[in-house]
Structure formats: structure tokens, C-alpha cells
Amino acid sequence: MGKPTGFLEYPREETIERKPLQRLKDWKEYTKKQPEDMLKRQGARCMDCGTPFCHIGIEINGAAAGCPINNLIPEWNDLVYRGKWKEALDRLMKTNNFPEFTGRVCPAPCEGSCTVELAGPAVTIKNIEKAIIDKGFENGWIQPRIPERRTGKKVAIVGSGPAGLAAADQLNQAGHSVTVYERADKAGGLLTYGIPNMKLDKDVVERRIKLLRQEGIDFILNTEVGKDVTSEELKIQYDSIILCTGAQKQRDLTLQGREADGVHFAMNYLTQATKRLLNIEVSEPLIDAEGKNVIVIGGGDTGADCVATALRQKCKSVVQFGKHPKLPDVRSDANMWPEQPNIFTMDYAYEEATAQYGHDPREYSVQTKKIVSDHNGRLKELHTIQMKRTSDDAGNMVFEEIPGSEKIWPADLVFIAIGFEGTELPVLKEFGVEVKHNKVDAEHGDYRTNVDGVFAAGDSRRGQSLIVWAIQEGRDCARQVDLSLMGSTILP
């Protein structure tokens, strides 16, 4: 695939981005449109390897290796290199319902498993994927696909995140009548209210929702199952139900001073920021970082999004605490290819903070000891201590405090971004499905719950994960639902 010697002739060319200080002035996507000649060169770097690990889609040590939806990456890389964009789009859409999402926000485990990575920088797979789908929309190649026949079967999907949307798309194309229930005022789940606009423009999400509506899928918004409609009502109305409620139960801090005014969950902050951008009324008290000292607790992507959001709200300062040491610049011996590389990178938010303040906002190996408020209960400061990672007698990794490394940080806002415990339980109790470790107890590949006719997919079943895994589960679950309804299935 590509040019046989392309990976030797052409260097990797990274995503072209707007200048950090320029993009801090708005909420638009921080990347630019990539030149076509550049994309062709990058497609040429795909090396026609005997076994393309980029699309193996497995887990190694709990992390994705290769593309979980088994994108036909070498094929569309070759087609882009040859300028056959429409054919590339056809190949891409065979495995991925929403390349415009994954091409923007997926961490690209495919690139970590690229064979070129064994000898140098991987092929820029994610950039090429985004370019293919964007060109498809620009040229009018993406049109509503109206199913030719209807089966008479009705399916309800609870939750409109990537798993729910993927399942809805697949089942609709199989001819079933699909209705998606969403408690928020807009469809998309975390695609809409969890990922900031500068990473995923909400017009891109809305464009896809509009297309799915045109293809026959019904969306019922502002409707919470168990409150506005009961599980029994859904069971009566529909032949099958899929729970795609996500893993939105945020992990909390349990330490002194947690109740201080000014301490918020990260997702509450990000959701409110997006609603304000979209001019949607916010009923909760306003969370605004303007002129404030902001601390983000949690070193992951959600924490980075809080940093970028606070910068756009013109915060006075921003720091992000991570409990782990700084990652190495190259793979360690314990992080071998084709695993996802655990190496130091400069996310868009950190580039922006560095441009604004002259230094990376991340602090490593930090443990928050307590939160201190003033006499009015208003957040005042955080007390921390540095940690070192070591092993105990049994060889288990443990963290130990470093005496004398205590520090006090002034703070007006703190955002908790330490991950998610699992799915929210009320809706699961409403359906009576069995729960294990705060997740729906359903087997991967089967997706059936203990309740007849009720399935589960995505983060509600597997826990906090990647968008691409959610799409994979939504597609796979749709196949099982189609099989249960029809006795056979036409879905891949």
C-alpha cells in the first residue's frame, strides 16, 4: 500500500495547527485543514507491511493496540496517495460510522501499532482519516441512506453517545425502527457536552445527528428514563432495548475540605462551558475561571480540556496535578511496540498554557493532602506533598510521600478530573439489570443483560474507555440485536 519506498523518502508531517496564542482568542477547532499534497505524501508512507498491525484492535496490558473497529487503514492510505478520495471514503465507511469524530479526538492507537514505528515515526493515520471524511462532506458524497425496507421491529436506545449512535445507525440500516432517548437537551452525549468545541466543533456533531434523523432515526431529548418514561413503558413499546448510558459517575476526592465553595467536578465545568458557548441556558451556579487561580487535579485528557477551557476564560493562572511521574521521551522496555506508546507529549492545552505563561502547567507526582477555605467557606488554597513511586516487598507498585516536600498553592477554582467509577446506577436499577463493579454485567460479543430483550454496550458495559471502543461495541451490539430479532443478520 502507498509508495513502496515512501516511508524512507518522506518524513512524518504533523498536524498543522493554529498558533497557540491566536487560537486562545476563540473556541474554534485548533487544527487547520491539511494540504492535499501533504496528505498524499503521508499516505505514501504506508509501507505495505505483511501484517498491518494498525488495525488489529486488541488490548495489551489494558490499553488498545491497533484500531478497535478494524479500519482498513492500508487500503485507504493507498487510495489517498493515488488521489482516489471517494474510493477511500467508501473503504473508511465500511468499518467506521463516524470518522469525523475519531479523526478529531481518538488518541490513535493505530499509530502506536504502525509497523513504520519500529524504525521511525508512524504514518499520520488520524490526519488522513479526518481528511477523507471532511472531503466527503465538502464534496456532497455523504448523503442520507434511506433503508429500502422496514422490518416492523422497533428498538429503543437509551443514551446518544458514540455507542448509542453507532448502534442506532447500524440497526436503522438493517431496517428496524430506532428511537434514541437522551436526557440532555442535545444528542451526542460526551461528544456534545464532554469534549470542548476546540477539539470537536459542535456543528460537526450536529451535522451527523441531522443526517441520522434524515435517515429515519428518532431522537427524543430532555427525557430521562425512570423519571419521564419508565422501563416498563419502553419494554411494552419496543422489541429490544440497548443501554448506552456511558460511564458518567465521576470519581470524587475524599479529603479534608472537599466541600469548599469553588471545588467542582471537571465534567460539570466542561458541560457548562459548552452550554454557554452554544447560548443554552445554564441553571446551575456559574463556574467561570476569569481572573482566578485554577488547579486541575488529574493528569488525563479531561484535565487537559479543563486547562484549555480555563485559558479561554482568561484565568489568572492554571496548574494541573498528576500523581504519576513525567513520562519518558521514548518507549520504555516495558512499553514495547505494538502497544500504545506511553511517552511524553505536548497536548494542545499544554502548548497553549506554555505560550501564555512561559511554562508547562503540569506538575508531576503530586498528592493533594487537604483543601483549605476561608471563613466564608470559599476555596482559598491546596496543600500538597510530592510522592515517589517504588515497589513493596511483594513487587507491587506503591507511592510514598517525600518528607519536606510539602507545598501550599493559592486556588480560587479546583476541578476534579480523576476519572469515572462507572455508570450511574438509577437507570440500571430501573431496568433491573445486574451490575458488576458499577457496570452492566453483560459479556463482550453478546451484550445481553439478565433482563430479556435488554442489551448494553459502550462505557456502561466496559467502563470508561475510548470513543473508538464505544463505536466498536455499538456496532457489535447492533449485530447481536439484529440476530435476536430476525434469526439471522446482515450486519457486519
pLDDT digits (tens, 9 = 90+) for 78-97: 999 999 999 999 999 999 99
% of the chain with per-residue pLDDT over 70: 100
> What digits encode the pLDDT tens for the residues 260-318?
999 999 999 999 999 999 999 998 899 999 999 999 999 999 999 999 999 999 999 99
Which pLDDT score is estimated for 405? 97
Average pLDDT of the segment spanning 462-474:
96
Q: Rounded CA gap, 15 and 42, in Å?
A: 11
Average pLDDT of the segment spanning 378-386:
97
What is the rounded (10 degree) CA torsion for 345, 350, 354, 355? 110
Report yes or no: 377 and 258 within 8 Å, Cβ to Cβ. Answer: no
Q: Within the chain, how many helices (H) and strands (E) appear?
A: 18, 20
* DSSP symbol at 378: B
Average pLDDT of the segment spanning 463-486:
97
> What digits encode the pLDDT tens for the residues 115-158?
999 989 999 999 999 999 999 999 999 999 999 999 999 999 99
Confidence of residue 184 (pLDDT cuts 50, 70, 90): very high
pTM of the model: 0.95
* Bond before 338 cis per omega within 30 degrees: yes
- How far, in Å, are 29, 302, 349, 360, 413 from residue 356 at the CA level? 18, 20, 11, 10, 19
Which pLDDT score is estimated for 85? 98
Average pLDDT of the segment spanning 468-476:
97
Phi, psi angle pair for 163, to nearest 5°: -65, -45
Report yes or no: 147 and 172 within 8 Å, Cβ to Cβ. Answer: yes
Q: CB under 8 Å to 61, separation ≥6 — which residues?
A: 339
> What digits encode the pLDDT tens for the residues 401-440?
999 999 999 999 999 999 999 998 899 999 999 999 999 9
Q: Which domains does the chain have, with CATH numbers?
A: 6-138 (1.10.1060.10), 154-248+421-486 (3.50.50.60), 252-418 (3.50.50.60)
Q: Rounded CA gap, 178 and 154, in Å?
A: 6
> What digits encode the pLDDT tens for the residues 94-121?
999 999 999 999 999 999 999 999 989 9
